[in-house]
Amino acid sequence: MNTKLRIRRPDDWHLHLRDREMLAAVAPWSAGLGRAIIMPNLVPPVVTGAEAAAYRDRILAALPENVTLRPLMTLYLTEATDPADVLAAHAQGIIAAVKLYPAGATTNSASGVRDFDRVRPVLEAMAGAGIPLCVHGEVTDPAVDIFDREAVFIDRVLEPIRRATPGLRVVMEHVTTADGVAYVRSGDNIGATITTHHLVINRNHILVGGIRPHYYCLPVAKRESHRLALVEAATSGDPRFFTGTDSAPHPDRAKESACGCAGCFTAPNWLQICAHVFEQAGALDRLEGFTSLHGAAFYGLDPNPDHISLVRRDEPARWPERITAGGETVTVFDPGFPVHWHIEDDA
């Protein structure tokens, strides 16, 4: 039997589109979105309003014609960021948010923040203007176990920042722990994105039976009890939790390596997989909130005006195992089970 679910066109509140050949190869896979928050961790990073405007133009040029995707740009916060530039870029509609990477926490984060006191004037300006701060929430202290870095970040960095900057709107990006979920639920002016892959894999998927580089991302997937907390949060209907795929393409050569880099490429199949997760949780009626309503509300935007349909069919949905980008291949995230949800664009 076919089941059809019609929902507002989804948005993605955490997306890596990269640049040059990779941008050209991956952008069409996100063309069905309404809006996407575009991450600024290019090499070199997108630091100024002018750089964000130029990057937005490169993204628009890489998209097929007549697509709906509206890229919402972000600035990469550095210790040298000028509050006036952030405010001007926001006032001109160039940026929707600012991204905080603790220096060294993840891919291309070397220019991130080491001393959080040095960005206080920017954060205060953002709080005053209502500009959200998107946070990669992991400490980089080598003494902290990698599986504890999100929980420790909340106590050592995030809570002090939020106390010192009342009114600052914060998105805890790609939350991966029950601690993160509980923290988001405990406060005001805070939301969280949850990725599709963290809804379906736990740390065993990365390590049991051999090292699976295509399941390695940051924050690293945690134990099963945390995955269950993420599924509960995503499917609960709580508007503080919304989709951020963190689709993060890397060449297979860079992932299948003695020191493989972090990131899962989920743009081609994240929505189909999300429908599966919500179906399994008996929460299909809450899928639209998670993919299409809660994030827009957090960012003060209306839902997209148009709709798509998700149709459950007996035959599994298909997507390529890998795509090519320039001379490289990029492996598409494999959920490890058949997914029967297919997308139909109603636009």
Ligand X SMILES: NC(=O)N[C@@H](CC(=O)O)C(=O)O
User: Among all residues, which ones are annotated catalytic?
Assistant: 246
Dihedrals phi, psi of 276, to nearest 5 degrees? -60, -45
Q: Find out whether 17 is annotated in a ligand binding site.
A: yes
Q: How far is the CB of 338 from Zn ion (least distance, A)?
A: 27
> CA nearest 29: which of 20, 42, 16?
16
Contact call for residue 199 and ligand X (CB under 6 A): no
Contact call for residue 107 and ligand X (CB under 6 A): yes
Owner of token pair 């206080």: 120
Of positions 52, 87, 199, 217, contacts ligand X by CB under 6 A = 217
Of positions 8, 35, 99, 136, contacts ligand X by CB under 6 A = 136
Q: How far is the CB of 150 from Zn ion (least distance, A)?
A: 11
Q: How far is the CB of 126 from ligand X (least distance, A)?
A: 20
Distance of alpha carbon 33 from alpha carbon 14, whole angstroms = 12
Helices of type H across 291-346: 294-298
Number of H helices, E strands in the chain: 14, 13
Q: How far is the CB of 40 from Zn ion (least distance, A)?
A: 10
Pairing of strands 35-38, 95-100: unpaired
Q: Find out whether 41 is annotated in a ligand binding site.
A: yes
Distance of alpha carbon 292 from alpha carbon 289, whole angstroms = 6
Identify residues 227-246 at the interface with ligand X (CB under 6 A).
Answer: 246
Secondary structure (3-state) at 14:
strand
- By C-beta, is 85 or 334 nearer to ligand X? 334
Contact call for residue 16 and ligand X (CB under 6 A): yes
Structure tokens that stand for 39 in this block: 């991450």
Identify residues 32-71 at the interface with ligand X (CB under 6 A).
Answer: 41
Distance of alpha carbon 17 from alpha carbon 57, whole angstroms = 13
Q: How far is the CB of 167 from ligand X (least distance, A)?
A: 26
Q: Are 145 and 139 in contact (CB under 8 A)?
A: no
Secondary structure (3-state) at 251:
coil
Contact call for residue 218 and ligand X (CB under 6 A): yes
- By C-beta, is 107 or 291 nearer to ligand X? 107
**Among ligand X, Zn ion, none, what does residue 262 contact (CB within 5–8 Å per kind)?**
ligand X
> CA nearest 8: which of 202, 242, 194?
242
For ligand X (CB under 6 A), the number of binding residues is 11
The residues that bridge with 264 in the sheet, in sequence order, are: 247
Of positions 53, 152, 262, 281, contacts ligand X by CB under 6 A = 262
Which residues of this protein are in contact with ligand X, per CB under 6 A?
16, 41, 106-107, 136, 217-218, 246, 248, 262-263
Provide the annotated binding site for Zn(2+): 14, 16, 99, 136, 174, 246
Annotated binding residues, as ranges? 14, 16-18, 41, 99, 136, 174, 218, 246, 250, 262
